[in-house]
Chains A and B, each alone.
Chain A
């Protein structure tokens, strides 16, 4: 069974920014990208991918700028600016490179993550 782990209060999520959580020794970058059609913050507006930038070899992706490119939600690495799809972890500049993605849910005003799944 997947184990969900609470990482922080929902109020820690700032629109269009990332934060980094420690999940079983792994670093996860969590982003809140509001979608006006979905209203209040919910799990469908929160994305979690690995925090490790495989190009720069450093744990920095939570500090990148979020946005959309070709209708995909992305974050840009603060080091060399590659873009990663927030839903799939796939790198837009080199689709052979894909980051692990994590499942997100919100339960009792806590943001919870589970390892290694997504879509």
Chain B
């Protein structure tokens, strides 16, 4: 378009890039030709996680720009070229490389630079700052010959930088001008605890130190001289004494700047020139420079809105923070320094475990104004909620920070594992590594996951990891939190009990009575599962909407590209040729990738959400039922061919497998269940690796329980021998319901039994001798599940309301254009990202 205007953005840091991403998602992109300058040799990257560079991340890993972003959105990027002047009269930007670019609207996202105190010698060799990837490369280079490193500045970034120096193997010091660490966020006591913790990690901390000069050292490259007459020898000095806005461009073109720097902006992020905006750390709003990324992102959104004549004013940002500095939890909320007139304070200090917590409360003792947490910050979410939402405090506010109940008993299963045992196979993490992470101060499951990467791949080891972490924490004397999540201070077992005793039928009812907040992706599926186990209602009933994971919600298994796979039930693995042909025809018609599963059934991959009902219509018409491959429920009962055909078989294993599969197929359980039946002790069905395994003998059926294949195989335990079929089924009924009632969230039967107090002998007494007097109740509950069974797909197809959710777009029948397949070995598979880009460029989609 000849009349298209030009929008220029100076600076491609985190905030500049977020602005471009927001712009690209808005219609405003089409109104402008967009140009951006980046003075660095690479486009935007993640500065918040800069220290991960030392943990092996590359510059590419830290990049915030999706491949092809600038090309795809027609944005011109001037890389490695700095804007050096702006002429507001002619509306022209001049760059270091001599380009002259006209603009109609200009956004300054020039960020900040590290403040270096102007002491003599600050520019000596090995005096560095910590902001860009180039800075890090200089640090690595300097560290090669250095033994001692000093960080000047004990704030948030300074302590990050100190971690980087210790990671580089230097003897590390932190020198702070203020009398305590993190002076902005913490009070004296909090700062003191943090100091002790950090000194415990081998870092020397020097507070109230004013550097007067840096000169030649004797034992090291440099010597820092302090105003109090003391001195410190060091090879490397890293300045991290705060940031200063990059406002030189704004100054030179006459925009209004603050007395102490920063480009003055209004609520629309406009500078004193209405055609020029400033966002991020270069901008001064209401006398404040925001040195965090979130407020910068909010400013970016404000400008994108303003370009479309929409008012989404920037009205400041909450500066509460929670972070982990060198493995130490630190959090600061609101008025942490109790500056509000009349404010009351409550504090809790534990010198032993070095935990400090302080609440700042309004004069009338009813509202939370601020808080400081050091050493342990699990209350952060709750306290932030009190503070931001003005919720009235309990009568004794100190209860919010005082320690709670003593620890629960240690689980045996996890303790029994040797240190060399591999817990997470995706990232090859051993039990020993998890234990040393805990010893290094990572004290919650989430932190251990973040520190070790365990359970962040496929997630298959999450239950095992949790039991190891819990056991290890309990061993070290820490309180083990067995709460399901922040919304329910109960275990899964306790919640099941509450549902049963209170006869509660919905998540909302349980939340209202026993929980807080709105729930999350941990508690919602767990509670939905409990309700389904107990009441056995269809999981897609409107009262249960939004509770289930994607697999249960769409009665299919989500795959990496957002398509689904379909597994019809084939009880016992027995299937007529005509049924096989139907599966083949459906696979062919919908171009699905077809594979035989380990459980003797057939998996059809690559179905789009909106195709699922059509596909199931055909399958059900042919006589198939849903296979519950998506649910925490019975998957398959695998069988060998048994005495009907086999020379060695002693009983009809296929017949029993089909009967068992049809009996338990509707049961929702804490995790998936796999069964097998073998027709003789040759064990071709591998029943001793299943949750429930049955093996035929001359004397009747032998029952094995709580076996597992998968990532941590467990040989099943022999539970009972020589059973007739009725007794066998009775035992399985009781055992399964007892498991459903007492297991933890996502706990397989193998881990459940390993953690069950009293173990196998106790379980035998409950199931075979009725030691708890529960047998009738357990059997009755199983009868209820069996009697109320319905094929979830059949019921869904008969209900237009439930079907409505099976569409990709609410306002279009187009398919998802990002779902693309290529052919491999004669079948479709999801296209790789580079293959997708190729398709998009040649327009094949």
Contacts of A26 in B (CB 8 A): 25
Min C-beta distance of B724 to chain A, whole Å: 45
A46 at interface by CB-CB < 8 Å: no
Min C-beta distance of B294 to chain A, whole Å: 6
Contacts of B7 in A (CB 8 A): none
Instruction: Determine whether the beta carbon of A69 is less than 8 Å from that of B812.
Output: no
Contacts of B560 in A (CB 8 A): 56, 58, 79
A73 at interface by CB-CB < 8 Å: yes
**Known A8-B811, A21-B809: A69·B25 in contact at CB below 8 Å:** no
Instruction: Determine whether the beta carbon of A119 is less than 8 Å from that of B816.
Output: no
Instruction: Determine whether the beta carbon of B811 is less than 8 Å from that of A22.
Output: yes
Which residue on chain A has the smallest CB distance to residue B384?
A71
Instruction: Determine whether the beta carbon of A65 is less than 8 Å from that of B297.
Output: no
Task: Write out, one digit per residue, whether chain B residues 541-580 have a CB within 8 A of any chain A CB (1) or not (0).
Answer: 0100111111001100010111000000000000000000
Instruction: Determine whether the beta carbon of A58 is less than 8 Å from that of B818.
Output: yes
Instruction: Determine whether the beta carbon of A2 is less than 8 Å from that of B521.
Output: no
A14 touches which of B487, B519, B546 (Cβ 8 Å) = B546
**Known A7-B810, A8-B810, A96-B48: A115·B554 in contact at CB below 8 Å:** no
Min C-beta distance of A37 to chain B, whole Å: 11
CA distance A115 to B816 in the complex (A): 19
**Known A14-B545, A63-B554, A90-B294: A71·B810 in contact at CB below 8 Å:** no
**Known A67-B520, A81-B521, A100-B21: A17·B816 in contact at CB below 8 Å:** no
**Known A71-B381, A100-B24: A17·B545 in contact at CB below 8 Å:** yes
B305 at interface by CB-CB < 8 Å: yes
Contacts of A8 in B (CB 8 A): 810-811
Which residue on chain B has the smallest CB distance to residue A2?
B308
CA distance A12 to B302 in the complex (A): 29
Min C-beta distance of A18 to chain B, whole Å: 8
Contacts of A100 in B (CB 8 A): 21-22, 24-26
**Known A7-B810, A22-B814, A95-B48: A70·B384 in contact at CB below 8 Å:** yes
Question: Which secondary structure characterizes the binding site on chain B?
Answer: loop
B310 touches which of A2, A33, A66, A78 (Cβ 8 Å) = A2
CA distance A52 to B808 in the complex (A): 13
Q: Which of B27, B297, B304, B816 has the most CB of A within 10 A?
A: B27
Give the size of the chain B interface in residues (CB under 8 angstroms): 73
Which residue on chain B has the smallest CB distance to residue A7?
B811
Min C-beta distance of B532 to chain A, whole Å: 16
Q: Which of A8, A69, A88 has the most CB of B within 10 A?
A: A69
Contacts of A20 in B (CB 8 A): 808-810
Contacts of A95 in B (CB 8 A): 48, 293-294
CA distance A7 to B805 in the complex (A): 15
**In chain A, residues 1-52, which have Cβ atoms closer than 8 Å to a Cβ of chain B?**
1-3, 7-8, 12, 14-17, 19-22, 24, 26-27, 30, 33, 50, 52
Instruction: Determine whether the beta carbon of A98 is less than 8 Å from that of B546.
Output: no
B90 at interface by CB-CB < 8 Å: no
**Known A94-B49, A103-B312, A117-B305: A17·B546 in contact at CB below 8 Å:** yes
Contacts of A70 in B (CB 8 A): 322, 380-381, 384-385, 486
A88 touches which of B294, B553, B554 (Cβ 8 Å) = B294
A69 touches which of B381, B545, B809 (Cβ 8 Å) = B381
B465 at interface by CB-CB < 8 Å: no
B180 at interface by CB-CB < 8 Å: no
Contacts of B21 in A (CB 8 A): 98, 100
CA distance A26 to B814 in the complex (A): 12
Instruction: Determine whether the beta carbon of A103 is less than 8 Å from that of B310.
Output: yes
Instruction: Determine whether the beta carbon of B810 is less than 8 Å from that of A103.
Output: no
Q: Which of B487, B804, B810, B812 has the most CB of A within 10 A?
A: B810
Q: Which of A14, A63, A64 has the most CB of B within 10 A?
A: A63
A21 touches which of B47, B305, B388, B811 (Cβ 8 Å) = B811
CA distance A107 to B748 in the complex (A): 49
B812 touches which of A12, A22, A30, A73 (Cβ 8 Å) = A22
B298 at interface by CB-CB < 8 Å: yes
Instruction: Determine whether the beta carbon of B301 is less than 8 Å from that of A118.
Output: yes
**Known A100-B21, A115-B25, A116-B304: A63·B812 in contact at CB below 8 Å:** no
Contacts of B150 in A (CB 8 A): none
Instruction: Determine whether the beta carbon of A65 is less than 8 Å from that of B546.
Output: yes
B520 touches which of A21, A50, A69 (Cβ 8 Å) = A69
Task: Write out, one digit per residue, whether chain B residues 152-174 have a CB within 8 A of any chain A CB (1) or not (0).
Answer: 00000000000000000000000
B23 at interface by CB-CB < 8 Å: yes
Task: Write out, one digit per residue, whether chain A residues 48-88 have a CB within 8 A of any chain B CB (1) or not (0).
Answer: 00101010111110011111111101101011010100001
**Known A22-B809, A98-B297: A67·B521 in contact at CB below 8 Å:** yes
Instruction: Determine whether the beta carbon of A15 is less than 8 Å from that of B546.
Output: yes
B668 at interface by CB-CB < 8 Å: no
Min C-beta distance of A12 to chain B, whole Å: 6
CA distance A89 to B189 in the complex (A): 36
Contacts of B293 in A (CB 8 A): 95-96
Instruction: Determine whether the beta carbon of A103 is less than 8 Å from that of B305.
Output: yes
Instruction: Determine whether the beta carbon of A16 is less than 8 Å from that of B301.
Output: no
B418 at interface by CB-CB < 8 Å: no
CA distance A94 to B811 in the complex (A): 32
**In chain B, residues 492-539, which have Cβ atoms closer than 8 Å to a Cβ of chain A?**
517-521, 523-525
CA distance A116 to B301 in the complex (A): 7
Instruction: Determine whether the beta carbon of A71 is less than 8 Å from that of B304.
Output: no
**Known A50-B25, A68-B520: A90·B309 in contact at CB below 8 Å:** no
B833 at interface by CB-CB < 8 Å: yes
CA distance A94 to B561 in the complex (A): 22
**In chain B, residues 430-466, which have Cβ atoms closer than 8 Å to a Cβ of chain A?**
459
Contacts of A76 in B (CB 8 A): 520-521
Which residue on chain A has the smallest CB distance to residue B47?
A96
Contacts of A27 in B (CB 8 A): 809, 816
Contacts of B558 in A (CB 8 A): 60, 63, 78-79
CA distance A1 to B26 in the complex (A): 11
Instruction: Determine whether the beta carbon of B833 is less than 8 Å from that of A57.
Output: yes
**Known A14-B545, A54-B66: A68·B518 in contact at CB below 8 Å:** yes
CA distance A31 to B554 in the complex (A): 17
A106 at interface by CB-CB < 8 Å: no
Contacts of A67 in B (CB 8 A): 487, 517-521, 523-524
B46 touches which of A3, A73, A96, A118 (Cβ 8 Å) = A96
Which residue on chain A has the smallest CB distance to residue B305?
A117
A119 touches which of B298, B385, B549, B609 (Cβ 8 Å) = B298
Instruction: Determine whether the beta carbon of A64 is less than 8 Å from that of B384.
Output: no
**Known A50-B25, A56-B560, A60-B562: A117·B550 in contact at CB below 8 Å:** no
CA distance A81 to B808 in the complex (A): 20
Instruction: Determine whether the beta carbon of B64 is less than 8 Å from that of A96.
Output: yes
Contacts of B638 in A (CB 8 A): none
Contacts of B59 in A (CB 8 A): none
CA distance A21 to B487 in the complex (A): 30
Task: Write out, one digit per residue, whether chain B residues 12-32 have a CB within 8 A of any chain A CB (1) or not (0).
Answer: 001000100111111111000
CA distance A5 to B487 in the complex (A): 36
- 21 example contacts (A-B, Cβ-Cβ < 8 A) are as follows A20-B808, A20-B810, A21-B811, A30-B810, A60-B562, A65-B549, A67-B524, A68-B520, A69-B520, A70-B385, A79-B562, A81-B459, A81-B521, A94-B46, A95-B48, A96-B46, A100-B21, A100-B22, A100-B24, A115-B28, A117-B312
Interface residues of B (CB under 8 A from A): 14, 18, 21-29, 46-49, 64, 66, 293-294, 297-298, 301-302, 304-305, 308-310, 312, 322, 380-381, 384-385, 388-389, 459, 486-487, 517-521, 523-525, 542, 545-550, 553-554, 558, 560-562, 609, 804-805, 808-812, 814, 816, 818-819, 833
Interface residues of A (CB under 8 A from B): 1-3, 7-8, 12, 14-17, 19-22, 24, 26-27, 30, 33, 50, 52, 54, 56-60, 63-71, 73-74, 76, 78-79, 81, 83, 88, 90, 94-98, 100-103, 114-119
What are the nearest 3 A-B pairs in CB distance? A116-B26, A100-B25, A67-B520
Given contacts A20-B808, A65-B549, A115-B27, 4 further A-B contacts (CB under 8 A): A7-B811, A74-B520, A76-B521, A119-B301
